[in-house]
Every structure is written in C-alpha cells, then in structure tokens.
Amino acid sequence: MNVQNPKGMKPGEARCPGPSTRDVILGDVTPTPAALLEESYTFLGDEDISYDRYTSADFLQREMDRMWTRVWQWVCREEDIPESGDHIVYDIGLYSFIIARQEDGSVKAFYNSCLHRGTQLRPTGAEGSADQFRCPYHGWTWALDGTLTDLPCEWDFPHVDQEKFELPEVHVDHWNGFVFINMDPDCAPLEDYLGVLPEHFANWRIDDRVAVARTEKILPSNWKASQEAFLEAYHILETHPQALPYAGDANAQYDTFGDHVSRFVQLLGSPSPHMADRITEDDILEQMGGYPAGSTVPEGTTARHMIAENMRKAVGEECGVDLSSYSDSETLDSIEYFVFPNMFVFPGINISVVYRFRPNGMDPDSSIMDLMLMKPVPEEGPRPEPADVVKLDVWDSYTTVPALGGLGGVYDQDTANLDMQQKGFKAAKKRGQTLGNYQEVRTRHVHQVLDKYLAD
C-alpha cells in the first residue's frame, strides 16, 4: 500500500483520521453560524517554494515595487486617531505615510516626504496631534488637509504653483474599525478586495473591540516566513506541545476564499488527534478550563460547552457586554482570517487577536510583527483607551508584557523558531520548502497570489 496515497486519493484529498473540525462544531450544543460551516479548500499544487523568495534583496525589491504599492494594507485602528489633527506615521519598506484625521472626521494619508527637498515631515514611528505639518528643515508647511500654507522666501520659488503643491495622497478606506491605505491610484475598492470578509464578519463586530495589549516586535526572519508561523496549526505538535490535551491541530480546517482571504478554524476544548485516545472530557476540563483536579463533566454535556459557557459569562462580566449570542465555536476556537498580504484577524472571544507582518525596511532577513490583544468594549459608558504599543527587540520575550497573559509564552515559542529557519534557508542543500497539501495550503496561496502581483 502506498502510505502517502492511502485510498488512491488525489493530492490534497487526504485528511487527518478522526473527527474533523466541522464534525466537532456540528456536534456542539449551540448552533454555529453558516460562515463557520463553509468549506473552501482547493489543491494548489505541491512544488517546492524557493528559499530565494525569503533571502534575496532583489526579491524584496520586486515585492516593494509590484506588490506593496498595489495592495490594501491596514495602517491603524480608528481609535488611534480619534480627533481632528490626530495622526500616526506608517512605514512599509521604503515608504512612509502620515495618516491624519481631518476636521470633517474623514482620514487622509499623505506621502511622508517634503515637496521641497524630501525630508520626512514626521519621523518614523511618530504619533501625535497637530493642526499642520511643518518640515523641520526649511519650514515649508502644509495644513491638515495637505494644502501648502507656508513657503519661506517664496520670492525664490516663482516656479512653485502653491495651489498645486499639496501633499500627494494615497487611497484610504475603512473596515470594521481598521483604517486601510492603497498606494495604487487605480486600485479596486477595499470592499471588493476583501472578498467574503464583510459577509463573514457581518455579526462579528471587531470595531467594538479595543486593544488591551499591543506589541511591535522585530523578528529575525523574512516577513513571509514570520507570518507563515501563524498560518497553520501543524506546528502545534512540536512547538506548543503543552496545548495538545485541549487543542485541535492536525484536524484544523483550512480554507482559501478568492485571492485575498484565507482562514483556519482550530478547535479548542477538544484534544489533538495525536492524543485524543488518551484524553477524557474531564482531562480537558481540568487542563483548559481551569477547573480543579477531580472535576467531572456531567452526562449530556461536553467539556467544550462547559468551558465556553464559563468564558461567555466571565468575559461578558469583565467587559460589560452580553456574549450570550456567541456559539461555543465562536467563543472558544481559534478562528483566524488572513487578508493578503499581511493581516490576521480573529473574530472569536477566547482568541481575539490581530497581527500584521511587515518587512523591516529593506532587509530581507528582518521583519516587524504588530500584535493586538482585543477585548469587547463595554456596552455602556466611555470607550476604553487602546493600550500603548510596547516595542520588543529580537530577543525580548513576550512574557515581559503582562497584559498578554499566558499568550506571551506561546508567542515566544512561535517566534523562537524563526532565527534558525531564516539561517537554514541559506544553509540548505535542498533549495526550497516542501509544504503539506492541506495544512500548509494557506502559505502556498500567499505565494501564488504574490506571484500574480509580481507578474503583472
């Protein structure tokens, strides 16, 4: 018998033996929203993915020229710039933008470069409030809306038509509490770009969540390698073995939707298929649910449902919201949507995080991971302020950020592999990575969509 091809299946058809994610969700006590029951997997091939894509400065330059300049990318949350004049600087590779709230409540995004001699109007990483942008070099000044308002010694610049010397802008749009930009003057609308996302998120109000922890960490790896550590649950077995008693891994569900969206749904409160035969419902309760040793799951219910019930109650009380409409899956599971090229958003309650991965300048061996841990905002009373960003260098541990709780150690496990992987890319005799047909399809999907942008 061919072990790789058990029942004469076509590539991509094989699945982990045992109950699938969908089987477990369909067996849940609470009804699950249709979006979570949808399956959308396509076999995308099994060729190796070349390591040059992760190590070559030329490749990064092509990504910058042809991809980053043409995609929608989220730059900040609405609550980062609530008032007129509030602004942040967003850098991507070579580029830098000032994202500024306008008097009428809209948002504009300007190239962060003076029209006199190019100086950045605001330094990298800056955030604050201003009613104008004044260049620190010779004092050329633009109003909040980008019109030129001051040009010292204008007698020397008869060739400058001041009416036309406004700061160049890029497209801005909004979705679910996020502000996006697109550098392509001819880009498709954000709503088209997001594909199924607005429909799937119709009942998931991420705009009603606020960051209670935020980090910006430098990672010692190409931006794609860094984010690929978060696109699959295959690594849980080796990288996060502590989670196996209560976390699905090999039975996670993977979907791709059009060019820009993919998803995994990974069960929690359900054991890994690697050890399901050794784990009882009572074990799950004790190891994930925080129930004392000796607690038992009564007949007619499941550990998963008991943990979800508790979580809806506890998080609801803590945050001042009613979470009773959330299903067990929406409450517990790790439901991860990805938006090309670099956005991760989790609509669940237990795992409610957002990630973004970017090249760190033009260094193919370094990237920036932005992370937000989100909580629902109270239904009554003022909206809490988002947490300040904690900057972490390559070797700083996520556990130094107390607000991340137990997730800090998990992110340390994820990011600990990256330095060795990036070095291994260069040390390799076999010049590319060999991906699983199902569990790593989202990584292949990203590369194939990237290739479409590079080829155009």
For ligand FES, the closer CB: 140 or 355: 140
User: Which residue do the tokens 């020229």 mark?
Assistant: 65
Q: How far is the CB of 96 from ligand FES (least distance, A)?
A: 14
Rounded Cα gap, residues 118 and 95, in angstroms: 12
Instruction: Put residue 245 in one of left, alpha, beta given phi > 0 → left and psi -120 to 50 → alpha.
Output: alpha
For β-strands 353-360 and 363-376, DSSP reports them as antiparallel
Q: How far is the CB of 240 from Fe ion (least distance, A)?
A: 6
The site string for ligand FES over 126-145 (x = CB under 6 A, - otherwise) reads ---------x-xxxx-----
For ligand FES, the closer CB: 114 or 144: 114
User: Which residue do the tokens 């409450």 mark?
Assistant: 331
For ligand FES, the closer CB: 8 or 118: 118
Rounded Cα gap, residues 424 and 30, in angstroms: 45
For ligand FES, the closer CB: 144 or 332: 144
| Residues 394 to 433 in contact with ligand FES, rule: CB under 6 A | none
For Fe ion, the closer CB: 226 or 287: 226
How large is the C-alpha radius of gyration of the chain?
A: 24
Size of the site for ligand FES (CB under 6 A): 9
For ligand FES, the closer CB: 122 or 445: 122
Choose among ligand FES, Fe ion, none what residue 288 binds, the Cβ cut-off being 5 to 8 Å by kind: none
Interface pick for ligand FES out of 89, 107, 114, 387 (rule CB under 6 A): 114
The residue at minimum Cβ distance from Fe ion is 414
Rounded Cα gap, residues 24 and 27, in angstroms: 5
Interface pick for ligand FES out of 5, 106, 119, 325 (rule CB under 6 A): 119
Rounded Cα gap, residues 118 and 264, in angstroms: 43
The site string for ligand FES over 139-178 (x = CB under 6 A, - otherwise) reads xx--------------------------------------
Q: Answer yes or no: are the C-beta atoms of 378 and 366 closer than 8 Å.
A: no
Q: Answer yes or no: are the C-beta atoms of 412 and 397 closer than 8 Å.
A: yes
Choose among ligand FES, Fe ion, none what residue 138 binds, the Cβ cut-off being 5 to 8 Å by kind: ligand FES
Choose among Fe ion, ligand FES, none what residue 414 binds, the Cβ cut-off being 5 to 8 Å by kind: Fe ion
Rounded Cα gap, residues 376 and 209, in angstroms: 4
Q: How far is the CB of 151 from ligand FES (least distance, A)?
A: 8
When asked if residue 43 is in the footprint of ligand FES (CB under 6 A), the reply is no
Rounded Cα gap, residues 275 and 309, in angstroms: 25
DSSP class of residue 66? Answer: I
Choose among ligand FES, Fe ion, none what residue 431 binds, the Cβ cut-off being 5 to 8 Å by kind: none
Q: Give the burial class of 371: count Cβ atoms within 10 A of its Cβ; 0-12 exposed, 13-18 middle, 19 or more buried.
A: buried
Interface pick for Fe ion out of 13, 207, 216, 414 (rule CB under 5 A): 414
Q: Structure tokens of 267?
A: 């069960």
Q: Structure tokens of 1?
A: 């018998």
Instruction: Put residue 273 in one of left, alpha, beta given phi > 0 → left and psi -120 to 50 → alpha.
Output: alpha
Binding site for Fe ion (CB under 5 A): 414
Interface with ligand FES by CB under 6 A: which residues?
114, 116-117, 119, 135, 137-140
